A and B are shown apart, each in its own frame.
Chain A
Amino acid sequence: MLPPLLLQTAAPADDLAQYIPIIAMLLIGGGIAAGLVVFVSIIGRRKVSLVKGTPFEAGSVPVHGAWRRVHVRYYVVALLFIVFDLEAVFLVIWAPLLQELGLYGLVVMGLFVLLLAIGLAYEWGKGALNWHENESREVSSRS
């Protein structure tokens, strides 16, 4: 006979033990992956040749390396991401408290979201969200 387990709905906040499985998971996942790669590289034969070492370019010989400048639009995406990521974080920690804070909480968050919505609207209006707005500035293909 197995004795009953308790249904743990909420782990106590002050408990480092809840992070052990996460660390273990990352270590085991990474460990098995690395172990397999090493194992295969040990049993496998390795032969280096010029052609094998060339980056794949569908048969043609690469004319230069790939570390060229990328377009500035990726920077815009990253910045937008940071802004909205922060907004999401603020929203997510605010959500469980909504019942407590009541209307006050609603106003506070409303103002916050409104400001960021203005930012998004500004980007939209200026066309910064259009990926191909400034096609001629594709730096990575030239230079």
Chain B
Amino acid sequence: MTEAVLFWILAVLAVIGGIGVIASRRAMYSAMSLVWTLFCLASLYVLLRAHLLAALQVLVYAGAIMMLFVFVVMLLSMTDEEKGKARASGYGIAGSLAAGTILVGVAFAVAGQPSPEGPLAVGTVRAVALELYTEHVLAFQVTAVLLLAAIIGATVVAIRRI
């Protein structure tokens, strides 16, 4: 009961944050709304007993990735003239359609699932780490390659002569 109430409160707050992300005129507000959304999502993970995922959500997304977003916003520093007027272009309609399709798909997928009974032990550090380093070790190693590519990409962006 308590959990259901908490879930709805947090879910609504997360959606409000999400609306803030796309509705804000200022890029910085969008970024801050995203922080808020990610924080609410982390709280939802806590409700799911995914403790590690919750901590990582805040640490990596709300902390590190958001930092990158904010720096990029500052790097571009678009003035109002550069942004132009808000317009309901084809992109907007296409985006709404895509988002709606995904929403319906997720709703159908989730509706078919039975809700798990009793306490879950899949979200602890141990459980996730064991799974990650045995079952999904290839994905884990590919992550390293991805991160390596990111480092090299950043170097290429930042240094004039390679």
Contact = CB atoms under 8 A, between A and B. Distances in A.
A and B touch in the complex (CB under 8 A): yes
Interface of A: 13-14, 16, 19, 67-83, 85-87, 89-90, 93-94, 96-97, 100-101, 105, 108, 111-112, 115-116, 118-120, 122-123, 126-128, 133-134, 137
B96 interface: no
A108 B159 contact: no
Question: Which of A77, A105, A115 has its CB near the most chain B CB atoms (within 10 A)?
Answer: A115
B162 interface: yes
Interface string B125-158: 1101110111001001101110110111111011
Given A75-B157, A115-B148, A123-B155, 16 more contacts: A13-B49, A14-B49, A16-B47, A72-B157, A73-B158, A75-B72, A78-B64, A81-B64, A81-B67, A87-B147, A101-B134, A108-B133, A122-B151, A122-B152, A123-B154, A134-B159
Contact of A83 (B71, B150, B158, B159): B150
A115 B145 contact: yes
B83 interface: no
B11 to A, nearest CB: 16
A14 B59 contact: no
Nearest to A123: B155
B133 A76 contact: no
Tell me what chain A mostly uses at the interface: helix, strand, loop, or mixed: helix
A96 B124 CA distance: 12
Interface residues of B, number: 52
Contacts of A83: 147, 150-151
A18 B51 CA distance: 11
Interface string B50-83: 0110001001100111011001101111000000
Question: Which of B52, B129, B158 has its CB near the most chain A CB atoms (within 10 A)?
Answer: B158
Interface of B: 3, 46-47, 49, 51-52, 56, 59-60, 63-65, 67-68, 71-72, 74-77, 119-121, 123-126, 128-130, 132-134, 137, 140-141, 143-145, 147-148, 150-155, 157-160, 162
Contact of A82 (B49, B64, B119): B64
Given A78-B67, A123-B155, A85 B60 contact: yes
